[in-house]
Structure 1
């Protein structure tokens, strides 16, 4: 009895944080260009997405209380991403853009096309500046993503700037908690990628 009584006073086992990503993505479907009869778009090379450092360089799921202190980023204690946000966004970007074009890692497409004597693909650089759940009230929030996109042409003489754009997207969260924030940030990321895709198609006309 004494032994059992002593064991009952032990602390509870720590709860593991829930881990999230953007879901399984496209499941074995043909490229959109084939399904709709559209011509494929020119190939594109994508660099690793960079951040300003700090909070976005880890796997924390972040939120802001816009109605109290919008300058403070807060992490959920029992929720996290499966990888840093920049990697998640890049993975989703490659998946979506790859539906209508060949997508390479930076340097990979350059080396491939040089060997084949072809025109080098345009190079896309992205800076992830914001990726958080923004609460406008205790029971109301949105998933907010902000990206700065730079499109350059790689030439033998160096890089030539083609276009630059700021992309901001937000989508409402269905619930005022971490799972709701994940859904909102997933939807906001897809919206930002759709805007990027349209911009790339216009900017790449040269």
Structure 2
């Protein structure tokens, strides 16, 4: 092997080693964490001893484990995915689980649509917004807009849209996940307060 060939071979080996050392890290998964500080029994429990809560519905982007964010200062119409961060479940699943848990903590017996639920009121939830929005490169907040529809005997009783926003503690995926969990908890409290205003059966 000539000296030139040897140098070329060494250079290729060094390049390959460098590529191997910069291999993309494995994805980090996030969920909403434990539902700490249980909600005490609320007036909604008296109005609704039992309630069927349907799975949260929403756009196709929320039926995936990908985490998205928006740069409001650059292009608010563009939703961008995090490269190395994922949800542990889809946002729709996380919302469903958390909202049911919080409503149950409020004293309401929560049933699913697959349970024997003849004659029980039904709560349907539709998500219009679920996002982490960056107002600047170092400051973001979580924003959720959710439409709740209450049915009795297949008749619409009332419908209300709940919108909440919570500042993130850090300008990254972890901060967004924490803020979205806190925002979901706040909306759950709003839903319980709204249910308590509904007329008795």
What TM-score do you get using the length of structure 2 for normalisation?
Answer: 0.83
Q: How many residues align?
A: 188
- What secondary structure, in the 3-state scheme, does the structure 2 residue paired with 1:50 have? coil
Partner of residue 104, structure 1 = 111
Does 1:15 pair with 2:25?
yes
CA drift of 1:63 comes to: 0.7
Unaligned runs of 5+ in 2: 1-8
Partner of residue 192, structure 2 = 197
Partner of residue 65, structure 1 = 71
Partner of residue 135, structure 1 = 134
CA distance change for structure 1 residues 105 and 138 in 2, over 3 Å: closer, same or farther? same
Aligned alpha-carbon RMSD (Å): 2.6
CA drift of 1:141 comes to: 1.1
Unaligned runs of 5+ in 1: 115-119
Which of 83, 97, 109 aligns to 1:77? It is: 83
Note if contact 1:129-1:146 (Cα within 8 Å) is conserved in structure 2. yes
How far apart, in 1, do the equivalents of 2:139 and 2:85 lie? 19
Note if contact 1:49-1:87 (Cα within 8 Å) is conserved in structure 2. yes
Note if contact 2:65-2:90 (Cα within 8 Å) is conserved in structure 1. yes
How far apart, in 1, do the equivalents of 2:74 and 2:24 lie? 30
- What secondary structure, in the 3-state scheme, does the structure 2 residue paired with 1:51 have? coil
Note if contact 1:45-1:109 (Cα within 8 Å) is conserved in structure 2. no
- What secondary structure, in the 3-state scheme, does the structure 1 residue paired with 2:24 have? coil
Decide which structure has greater strand share. Answer: 1
Higher relative contact order (CA 8 A, sep 6+): 2
CA drift of 1:175 comes to: 1.0
Deviations 1:95-134 (A, max 9, x none): 1111201100014141xxx4xxxxx221011111111101
What TM-score do you get using the length of structure 1 for normalisation?
Answer: 0.81
Deviations 1:68-109 (A, max 9, x none): 111111111111111110110110011111120110001414
Partner of residue 46, structure 1 = 53
How far apart, in 2, do the equivalents of 1:149 and 1:49 lie? 10
Partner of residue 6, structure 2 = none
How far apart, in 2, do the equivalents of 1:98 and 1:56 lie? 24
Larger Rg: 2
Deviations 1:167-198 (A, max 9, x none): 11110011111111111111111111111111
CA drift of 1:201 comes to: 1.6
